[in-house]
Amino acid sequence: MLNQFDIGNRMELDRLFSSKTFDVVFHFAAKALIAESVVNPGLFFQANLVSAIALLETLRKHGIRKFVFSSSAAVYGSPAVVPILEDHAKEPVNAYGESKLMLERVLQWYAAAYGWSVVAFRYFNACGGGESWGERHDPETHIIPPFASCVGPPEILCNIWR
């Protein structure tokens, strides 16, 4: 079943987590246009941090303590070396990367304070594009499309991602 609503909507979240049992939550939602994050950072902090904290608090209320977060390699900013190692300095250069790093830090506090198990994945271009965007992979090398394929065919997914 697909549920579509803002992850900052605590009433909808509460309704969802009251209606079913969840062992783990995978959080892939984010506002992600880098250029827009530079000129309108508030939208990104609201969508990617504040709304995510509403999600975390609702999970805590419902006793869900396993969380997988789709972060971003944007937390590294302009890396001094490539390939980027996990312990490379985290110095985001835009609000998108900063919002992802801030949520990673929030998750560390939730893990310490509430005994949560948390995983944060950092990667570049997790979903890729479509034919009209000039990118197609066969076999698929991005992480989100294989997860999304469980929902249905690409025609349905286009409506979900927009």
**Bond preceding residue 139 cis, omega within 30 of 0:** yes
Find all residues with CB under 8 Å of 141, minimum gap 6, and list them.
128
Length of the chain: 162
Q: What is the Cα–Cα distance from 103 to 95, expressed in whole angstroms?
A: 12
The residues annotated as belonging to the active site are 96
Residue 9's SS3 state is coil
List the strands of the sheet with 66-70, edge to edge.
25-27, 66-70, 117-121
Q: What is the DSSP string of 12-35?
A: HHHHHHHHS--S-EEE------HH
